Amino acid sequence: MTAIALTLRRYSAGATPGQIGLALAIALFLAVFLVVPVATVIYVAFTEKGTGAFTLVNFQDFFATDLFVRSFWNSIYVSLMSVAWASAIALPLAYLTSRFEFRGSAIIQTLGFLPLIMPPFVGAVAMTLLFGRNGTLNLLLDDWLGFKIPFMEGLNGVIFVEALHYFPFILINLSAALANIDRAMEEAAQNLGCSGMRLFRRIVFPLAMPGYVAGASLVFVKVFDDLATPLLLNAKDLLAPQAYLRVTSIGIADPMGYVISVVLIAGSIAAVWLSNLALRGKDYATVQRGGGGLSRRTLKPWESAAAYAVITLILLLVLAPHLGLLILSLATVWSFSPLPDAYTLAHYARVFGDSSLYIKNTLIYAALAGTIDVIVGTAIAYLVLRTKLIGRQWLDWTAMAALAIPGVVLGIGYLRTFYGVSLPDGTPLATLWIMIVIALAIRRLPYALRACHAALQQISVSVEEAAENLGATKARTVRRVVVPLMTGGILAGFVTSFSTAAVELSATLMLVQSNSDAPLAYGLYVFMQSAAGRGPGAALGVIAVLFVALCAYASHRLVERSEKKQGAVR
Amino acid sequence: MLRLWAATAAAIALTFIAGDAGAQAPSGKVTIVTSFAKDVTDPFKKAFEAAHPGATLEVQNRNTNAAVKFIEETRANNQVDLMWASAPDAFEVLKGKKLLQAYKPKATGIPEKVGSYPINDRDGMYFGFAASGYGIMWNERYARANKLPDPKEWQDLAAPAFHDHVSIAAPSRSGTTHLTIETILQGEGWDKGWRTIKEMAGNFRNVTERSFGVPEAVNSGQVGVGIVIDFFAFAAQAANFPVKFAYPSVTTVVPANIGIIANAPNRAGAEAFVEFILSPKGQEVLLEPGIRRLPVNTATYAKAPAGYPNPFKDPQFQKMMLFDVDKSETRTAVVDTLFDQLISFQLDGLKAATKAVHDAEAALAKKDNAQARALVKEARDLIAAMPLAEAQAAQARAAFTGAKEKGARQAELEQQWAAFGKERYAQAKGKAEQAARLAR
């Protein structure tokens, strides 16, 4: 008994029972809903053909196959280039909107985040109609100038689309981090004679690093593991599509699909580990709070015109797919022409009846999943950054591994693990809609986790120590001090998890059991399988985008108001 | 263990209940898993529910592969009554795993065969409800802009004019494309068939992973020509897209099917739906513009609009060859993997070699040269070469059974085949370029 207590104490290294309990609860959650279901599927990667004995020969095959090795390097190249281009789009937007007095900052922030909500299939169709080989842009170029630009061809096409699609990860996290910087730092630098770009480069940007790195690592991992975009562009020489194609076409018994999944998981964990390494040894926390972030400068008229021009240009580019989607939803026939032949509202009438059910389901699922994500995300971030529990990093890494697991693998894992478990009335556990929520929460947990992690990194421990010195318990400190100070980051996490969960398809497709439980993305899929369904599908896509954007905007406003209220009290 | 007993007991109980319920009128929820789009399922749902008040049709949309996997994974506690999809081979897989329930439809007016293909499974496990043929679909606006001739036969797509203009779905991803490839292989023989396929493939714009990706790209004008199943083209025409369709002479009409799942929770409802879909009323639903499939009840064609293809009457269908399902089944994985390794994942190399051959032939047409002709022929043979003969294809199968049998690993074989293709394509390109230089 004493021995156990002793070992416990040694492993807990000064943590409170509450913290240990929390860590165990999260570990259990991750084990039941992530590790076990996935393990039931991917253990095949380590078994020998015929005997089922443990072996590593499949990994040897992986590195002996040209196609896989080529895919591996292509994936790394595409991910790095996407991070570079996503940064090039996100940095000016984040900088301009958080450094200067700007009309409509909130709207720009919301619009800048829209690309993340690209509904499956329809978004892709809209992109090809605009930027494809015979898309609007290329048909016009060919007519006027006699040449075409291969926006959507090969690896460069993948980079182009991925950067447009995922730059909001950087924008959201960087904006949250910029808003968290103590104004005193900036003022101190100005007092010492620093200003302009130098102030940004040497003081502001380094202080916002945790946010940038959180966003960039998400972009890297997401692109590394993304299969929808490469498949749409027919770029198959990448790891994630290879894994998906093998799992879904060759079958569950083939080991190579899971070998690739294991490589993907390892790659994602390595990326997160490297990004933590990049931030190690530096302290990003600032003590003072409630100053409302950086001071905002008013722009001179010509500066303001230039800034608006830059922002308009970027927004036009990144919102082009949504514009295309809108046109598609109003089009009769759009085929090999810059614009549709004619316009109609019939597609909206067609989806009107179904869409309210889909929207209700989506709202419930995505909101629940987002809530689970920020709660678990905050808890993991707190355990990792504020306690010395042995193995706390593993919680972080396990949760991040979810990003690398193909949705279909998770879906099959859920069916295997939970279909055998019957409820008292005989229906299998896996058929309940709550399983869709949990699958979505697990798939989107990494987004919320990175945002919460970055937010906590920017809070100085001394704030908490002060609270504890004044007699607050650890739990009370977390509730009254830490979480309120993290609000911006938590919200960023909620919004990303919520809105990406709202358009998730691959795991959902495996788990949806009846139309009455179906979310929007499933409705879209069902429409997009036929020629006549293209318009209604696009209409449903527009509804999805509008609806998610409205929710995101509302939560922005909500937080802004509560922050103002807090500021007033202080 | 306890769970197993409970499941067995439940299964036995269910069999009794279901046996009893067979005689009664269908009611309650009938659950159907299907790969068909909403445009297809909605009209059927409406018509079925109108014909059987009290019954509701619950539609679960999954692609064919996912549907098969879903039924397999959930067999211990099955909640699905019916499977409804195009590809007969998906039903063969389900039948092989004993996941289907035998039934004898009472509907009349349905002949034994369509073309030369039996409509119903000979063991009564699944039933054809509509016929489909495979062919070539193209976008008229695209064809006009790129001056493409109208294609009629598979071989036409191998012409230089079509270079980079043709799209296909990967046979490993799309049951219908697999049948197209198998049809060509059976119609022209293994070696000649692969030669035709690879000559076409040298002109591919891309190989998509969804069957619907092909008609989608042709409809929107991103690709000029697609190799598709007929109803994709008919439905697109019905939605006013500027597309055309042709059946080549080496093709076959095969039935799209429906089958009852073993241990169906609502067996009476499942049987009622099968009867409905085979009844004159159900067959007429197939003529709706959004669906446009070929009914199996010959009488239904009387109500069809003018110009509607009739596989029971039109002479072109009578010539269509017999498709050997057993032969296809024994080598499905081998054919699909050969296609993937030699075409899908080597498309750049194959296209470069094909382009070089086309260029050399164009140069030869202007100025003939016997030595160059021989080189071009060598290049063409290199492109057409296959790593294994027909007899070996059935044997290679053991590598594709996953973890069950010992033997060569699939990944090993794939690497060999891919290396074979890569090397031949590079050599072919070299020879063709040499020929072009000689002809200059």
Q: Quick one: closest CA in B to A242, which residue?
A: B345
pLDDT at B404: 59
Query: Computed over its alpha carbons, how large is the radius of gyration of chain A?
Result: 24
Q: What would the mean pLDDT of B345-369 be, rounded to a whole number?
A: 93
- DSSP label of B150: P
Phi, psi at A455, each rounded to 5°: -65, -40
CB A275 within 8 A of CB A170: no
pLDDT at B20: 40
> How many C-beta atoms lie closer than 10 Å to residue A71's C-beta?
25
Query: What is the rounded distance in angstroms from the CA atom of residue A299 to the CA atom of residue A100?
Result: 7
Across A496-505, B207-216, B420-429, the highest mean pLDDT is recorded for B420-429
Does the beta-carbon distance from B38 to A526 stay under 8 Å? Answer: yes
Q: How confident is the model at residue B10 (pLDDT cuts 50, 70, 90)?
A: very low
Q: Quick one: closest CA in B to A342, which residue?
A: B240
Four-residue CA torsion sign, B211, B213, B217, B222: negative
pLDDT at B271: 94
pLDDT at B405: 61
From chain B, the residues in CB contact with A529 under 8 A are 35-38, 61, 212
Q: pTM, whole model, 2 decimals?
A: 0.82
CB A332 within 8 A of CB A341: yes
Asked whether residue A8 carries a pLDDT value surpassing 50, the answer given is no
CB B174 within 8 A of CB B342: no
Smallest CA–CA distance, residue B333 to chain A, in Å, is 8
Does the beta-carbon distance from B290 to A530 stay under 8 Å? Answer: yes
To test the contact with chain A by mutation, choose from B64, B167, B209, B344 the residue with the greatest count of A C-beta atoms within 10 A, namely B209
Asked whether residue B2 carries a pLDDT value surpassing 60, the answer given is no
Q: Quick one: closest CA in B to A44, which residue?
A: B403
From chain A, the residues in CB contact with B79 under 8 A are 427-428, 431, 513
Q: Which residue is associated with the tokens 């994709």?
A: B232
- Mean pLDDT score of chain A, rounded to an integer? 83
Asked whether residue A570 carries a pLDDT value surpassing 50, the answer given is no
Smallest CA–CA distance, residue B369 to chain A, in Å, is 35
Q: How confident is the model at residue B15 (pLDDT cuts 50, 70, 90)?
A: very low
Closest-CA residue to A497 (of A535, A443, A461, A538): A443
Q: A360: which 2 tokens?
A: 């209700």
Closest-CA residue to B83 (of B306, B72, A264, A71): B72
The Cα diameter of chain B in Å comes to 82
pLDDT at A252: 59
The per-residue DSSP string of A375-403 comes to HHHHHHHHHHHH---TTHHHHHHHHHHGG
pLDDT at A31: 94
Closest-CA residue to A100 (of A286, A288, A293): A293
* Residue in A251, A415, A426 nearest the CB of B74: A415
Does the beta-carbon distance from A67 to B145 stay under 8 Å? Answer: no
pLDDT at A6: 46
| Tens of pLDDT, residues A242-270 | 888 887 766 656 788 888 888 888 888 88
Smallest CA–CA distance, residue B134 to chain A, in Å, is 17
Smallest CA–CA distance, residue B71 to chain A, in Å, is 10
Name the percent of chain A lying above pLDDT 90.
19
Query: What is the rounded distance in angstroms from the CA atom of residue B324 to the CA atom of residue B373?
Result: 38
Q: Which residues pair with B295 in a beta bridge?
A: B130
Least confident of A5-14, A325-334, A363-372, B192-201: A5-14
Q: How confident is the model at residue A294 (pLDDT cuts 50, 70, 90)?
A: low
Give me the interface pTM, i.e. the ipTM. 0.79
From chain B, the residues in CB contact with A134 under 8 A are 142, 220-222
Smallest CA–CA distance, residue A51 to chain B, in Å, is 7
| Tens of pLDDT, residues A165-191 | 889 989 988 888 887 777 777 788 888
Does the beta-carbon distance from A50 to B215 stay under 8 Å? Answer: no
* Residue in B37, B217, B402 nearest the CB of A253: B402
Does the beta-carbon distance from A525 to B61 stay under 8 Å? Answer: yes
Does the beta-carbon distance from B241 to A335 stay under 8 Å? Answer: yes
Q: How confident is the model at residue A291 (pLDDT cuts 50, 70, 90)?
A: low
pLDDT at B17: 42
pLDDT at A276: 80
Smallest CA–CA distance, residue A307 to chain B, in Å, is 36
Does the beta-carbon distance from B221 to A335 stay under 8 Å? Answer: yes
Q: A494: which 2 tokens?
A: 């909620």
Asked whether residue B197 carries a pLDDT value surpassing 50, the answer given is yes
> How many C-beta atoms lie closer than 10 Å to residue A203's C-beta?
18
Asked whether residue A79 carries a pLDDT value surpassing 90, the answer given is yes
Q: Quick one: closest CA in B to A47, which residue?
A: B403
From chain A, the residues in CB contact with B206 under 8 A are 234
Query: What is the rounded distance in angstroms from the CA atom of residue A351 to the CA atom of residue A532?
Result: 13
Query: What is the rounded distance in angstroms from the CA atom of residue A335 to the CA atom of residue A327?
Result: 13
Q: A5: which 2 tokens?
A: 């207590």
Does the beta-carbon distance from A58 to B411 stay under 8 Å? Answer: yes
pLDDT at B14: 43
Look at chain A and count its residues.
Answer: 570
Name the percent of chain B lying above pLDDT 90.
54
pLDDT at B226: 95
From chain A, the residues in CB contact with B87 under 8 A are none
Query: What is the rounded distance in angstroms from the CA atom of residue A115 to the CA atom of residue B68?
Result: 34
Exposed/middle/buried for B71, CB within 10 Å: 0-12, 13-18, 19+? buried
Q: How confident is the model at residue A152 (pLDDT cuts 50, 70, 90)?
A: confident
Q: How confident is the model at residue B369 (pLDDT cuts 50, 70, 90)?
A: confident
pLDDT at A482: 87
Distances (CA, A) of B248 to B89, B286, B293, B368: 22, 23, 18, 33
Query: What is the rounded distance in angstroms from the CA atom of residue A37 to the CA atom of residue A415?
Result: 8
Q: How confident is the model at residue B202 (pLDDT cuts 50, 70, 90)?
A: very high
- Residue with the larger pLDDT of the pair B157 and A531: B157
From chain B, the residues in CB contact with A241 under 8 A are 209
| Tens of pLDDT, residues A23-62 | 999 999 999 999 999 888 788 888 887 777 888 888 998 9
- Which fold would CATH assign to domain A13-569? MetI-like fold (1.10.3720)
B408-411 contacts, C-beta under 8 A, 24 or more apart? B409/A49, B409/A57, B409/A58, B409/A61, B410/A250, B410/A254, B410/A256, B410/B337, B411/A58, B411/A61, B411/A62, B411/A64, B411/A65, B411/A255, B411/A256
Look at chain B and count its residues.
Answer: 440
Query: What is the rounded distance in angstroms from the CA atom of residue A149 to the CA atom of residue A156?
Result: 11
To test the contact with chain B by mutation, choose from A335, A412, A540 the residue with the greatest count of B C-beta atoms within 10 A, namely A335
Q: What would the mean pLDDT of B192-198 be, rounded to a whole number?
A: 95
Phi, psi at A343, each rounded to 5°: -120, 155
Across A11-15, A209-213, A379-383, B36-40, the highest mean pLDDT is recorded for A379-383
Does the beta-carbon distance from A253 to B39 stay under 8 Å? Answer: no
So where are chain A's domains? 13-569
Four-residue CA torsion sign, A128, A133, A134, A139: positive
Q: How confident is the model at residue B332 (pLDDT cuts 50, 70, 90)?
A: confident
pLDDT at A56: 87
Does the beta-carbon distance from B411 to A65 stay under 8 Å? Answer: yes
- Residue with the larger pLDDT of the pair B397 and A323: A323
| Tens of pLDDT, residues A493-511 | 888 888 888 887 777 777 8
From chain B, the residues in CB contact with A530 under 8 A are 37-40, 212, 235, 290
Least confident of A386-400, B136-150, B418-432: A386-400
Helix (H) or strand (E) holding A545: helix A534-569
* Residue in A51, A236, A251 nearest the CB of B344: A236
| Tens of pLDDT, residues A396-448 | 889 988 877 777 778 878 887 887 777 777 777 777 888 899 999 999 999 89
To test the contact with chain B by mutation, choose from A529, A534, A540 the residue with the greatest count of B C-beta atoms within 10 A, namely A529
Query: What is the rounded distance in angstroms from the CA atom of residue B293 to the CA atom of residue B309?
Result: 9
- Complete domains list, chain B, with CATH: 2-132+254-319 (3.40.190.10), 133-251+324-439 (3.40.190.10)
To test the contact with chain A by mutation, choose from B4, B49, B61, B65 the residue with the greatest count of A C-beta atoms within 10 A, namely B61
Four-point Cα dihedral A136, A138, A139, A145, nearest 10: 130
Query: What is the rounded distance in angstroms from the CA atom of residue B87 to the CA atom of residue B90?
Result: 6
Beta-carbon contacts below 8 Å between A and B: 196
Does the beta-carbon distance from B209 to A231 stay under 8 Å? Answer: yes
Asked whether residue B261 carries a pLDDT value surpassing 90, the answer given is yes
Q: How confident is the model at residue A74 (pLDDT cuts 50, 70, 90)?
A: very high
CB B360 within 8 A of CB B376: yes
Q: A457: which 2 tokens?
A: 């990194």
Asked whether residue B102 carries a pLDDT value surpassing 70, the answer given is yes
pLDDT at A459: 84
Query: What is the rounded distance in angstroms from the CA atom of residue A162 to the CA atom of residue A223?
Result: 7
Query: What is the rounded distance in angstroms from the CA atom of residue A121 to the CA atom of residue A504?
Result: 11
* Residue in A335, A420, A529 nearest the CB of B220: A335
- Mean pLDDT score of chain B, rounded to an integer? 87
To test the contact with chain B by mutation, choose from A55, A122, A134, A505 the residue with the greatest count of B C-beta atoms within 10 A, namely A134
* Residue in A49, A334, A430 nearest the CB of B403: A49
Q: Which residue is associated with the tokens 């995300």?
A: A377
* Residue in B209, B239, B402 nearest the CB of A254: B402
